[in-house]
Structure 1
């Protein structure tokens, strides 16, 4: 009896699983699928939803190459089969081949888009497969001809003597195969500062789907074939901090920042999707000098409370990244653009001096999100802001004035209480300190840019 062992192959993601088989004079027994043990050994937690069984009476019965739009765990119940796989996914491994014999003591995990084929070596062979999507006649496959010369599979039983379907005989050669694209990525909030930065960072490949509030209602996600999606990036948010203190604003903030992420978390959990959710420094009260990912949530106002609720909801999705940030600056209206405009117009602004933090440029935030996804960093919460020495809003305003060629003394520092003393409408409480600890994301190999350097590049793009 062998131990449970999982071995990588020459095709990325295709895994061979050696299964312990317990035998005696009565026959044998095996645990064909045991989630806890297999995931601990290195098998993806792929979430099977359907179990199918294939029976082949004759030796030489051959099926394939079918690249299906789901992941698949294939094992033998009786007999032996020769398995062959060809990678039909877009990318550097397209066309890679792997073959192996399978019996009751060996199974194979086949990732979505890898063409699989099986040839029976014994009569009355039975093999089973678990898949993580329900079979549908509308499912889109890619196929490869079993006799493709490029793949060059050395079939134990020559195809001329094998039992094949007419469809399998007619499938295209590798040069004519439509490669399988990656699972789709849905980016919400595509018209915001971060959304535009994500478009610049990720590009416009066919599998990337950018949607705005007009296209997609986060509070009531419509029907989609969610198994086609591998990642959802939620860059949508209600950010009108002061308006959130009104009756209508409170309802809107909770709908977008809490109920919406909860709906996305349910979808992600049910379909094995990576969910990236952008959080805020406003989930803290600002009374500590530094906040890390384990700091207790302590929001002051409605906006912060709704964002904290959204964070808690997203944590229910097994494959989640909560990216907590602060003071985002990108392509659109923001504090830096406002200060630069005031400087140009000769206005002497009053800016608060008792709120400290770091600017986060949307391009850096988008780069960090891509880093987490591309490196497969452990799921969880990550703080992500610009690096460097924290500063007050008034300090930042003065740097904007100086970089724009204006006298920074024109900026007058005032307290938050003084600044809002004459405000006509409701004013949300602000955290006094918004400095986030970057150690965790830096531990994954990501280096956030110094916010002062990014500010200079933002305002003086030719001075790099």
Structure 2
């Protein structure tokens, strides 16, 4: 069949998730033909992942019937035919529900196909002198080859309908020796690294992902963000995502000379190193932000509000956010008044209630609590759903309250009298004390995260569970 000229660039989905077949415009005349085999701008606009190819390989096959595969490689591929024609067969060898799914198609120079990492690739030439070409987004190495997953071309389970029977085809001895599907170890997904995994949010992420072997957790002893060796000593090609749960949060101490340096080191310099790693290796970076990037003069803080930090801590968080925004694949999760497994306001109030102390608590700072289990679940939702990259406010839901209101709630849930809590202004509370300036309104608008399909739990519901289930004593 002659080559079809002047087709429109088009994409066709296949039964294998992520495998997409493309029609390529080929322009020809009496001299031959020309095509744009890879055109990033047009193809990304059509939905092809911007997979950043780094190497171009060509396989020349002298005879029809040459058969190669089935090889699942640890990188993505964009495959096309330069001359001749092939019968292609692709088998999903990735860990997951689509394992073993098969797709086949004949390809000539007017077609191309995108094959994600872990999908087994094979082809059989249908014409002599066929040249098969593919772009890949990682450099070949002997170490990378050890991560391949193979399937036997003659596997009875997938039963590929080879046009030329394998008994008459040209195969390598290695390809003949590959295992059947029942003996194939599926290729695991790329890994997610959680840094700062021993803090309140890190512990919530550990609980959420405890059954997911693809998620690694690193506290400071396993991954020191201030040490270049932590970055150099890891093979980032095996990762897809970094979740940064590390932060310097000592708001008042950040105003001191020593604290200022540490805050900038953790919240800015370390974030810069993470961002650079994400850009260089095409990773998704999830970063947790704070209401302190704002001065608290707005009734509701939206994601696009300009930064107006009041103190050193807020300044470092704003600087970190600005850095993360240059990473193409990023989620900034902005939260406030965090409560989890660690020292926090609710535990302090519960402890005071247990000891019969009647505290004075600030009543002119308004906001919502953010329970770490909800922050962790929101992060997972953004990653799993493939939500649009960008900044998302994420706190618990419900009516905003003051710190004094929340303290009274804790007292009541602890079986104590709400009236034991006395409200005072921020100015009164900190009179004569060295303290950082604080935003008086920390209420974050949750419209965007809800539109992305995530509904945060009510703060009142979470608070009751936190206090009554004894979580304050863990």
TM-score, with length taken from structure 1: 0.98
Show the counterpart of 1:222. 231
CA distance in 2, matches of 1:37, 1:225: 32
Does the 8 Å contact 1:202/1:370 carry over to 2?
no
Distance in 1, matches of 2:359 and 2:271, equals 37
Q: Distance in 1 between matches of 2:38 and 2:99?
A: 29
Question: Per-residue deviation at 1:17?
Answer: 1.0
Asked if residue 129 in structure 1 is aligned to residue 134 in structure 2, the reply is yes
Partner of 1:189: 196
In the TM superposition, residue 206 of structure 1 has moved relative to its aligned partner by 2.0
Q: Which runs of 5+ in 1 are unaligned?
A: none
Counterparts in 2 of 1:38-437, with a 5 A limit?
38-139=43-144, 140-219=147-226, 220=228, 221-223=230-232, 224-423=234-433, 426-437=434-445
Number of positions where the alignment pairs a residue of Structure 1 with one of Structure 2: 461
Q: How far apart are the structure 2 equivalents of 1:31 and 1:404? A: 70
Q: Deviations over 1:141-194 (max 9, x none)?
A: 110000000010010111111111111110000000010111100011111111
Deviates more, 1:205-214 or 1:317-326: 205-214
Q: For the residues of structure 2 that align with 1:218 and 1:462, how far apart are their CA atoms?
A: 33
The TM-score normalised by the length of structure 2 is: 0.95
Question: 1:462: how far off?
Answer: 9.1
Q: Distance in 2 between matches of 1:259 and 1:81?
A: 51
Is 1:23 equivalent to 2:33 in the alignment? no
2:41 is the alignment partner of 1:36 = yes
SS at structure 1 position matched to 2:222:
coil
Maintained 8 Å contact 1:6/1:41? yes
Q: Label 1:462 to 1:238 Cα distance change in 2 as closer, same or farther (>3 A).
A: closer
Report deviation, 1:123: 1.1
Query: In 1, distance between residues paired with 2:235 and 2:55?
Result: 16
Matching residue of 1:454: 462
Look up the SS of the partner of 1:317 in the other structure.
Answer: coil
User: How large is the Cα RMSD of the aligned pairs?
Assistant: 1.2
Cα distance between partner residues in 2 of 1:204 and 1:213: 22
Distance 2:363 2:184 in 1: 62
Whole-angstrom CA distance in 1 between matches of 2:375 and 2:265: 24
Task: State how far apart, in whole Å, the 1-side matches of 2:40 and 2:83 are.
Answer: 22
1:422 Cα deviation from its structure 2 partner = 3.2
Partners of 2:255 and 2:412 lie apart in 1 by 35
Query: 2 CA distance for matches of 1:420 and 1:446?
Result: 37
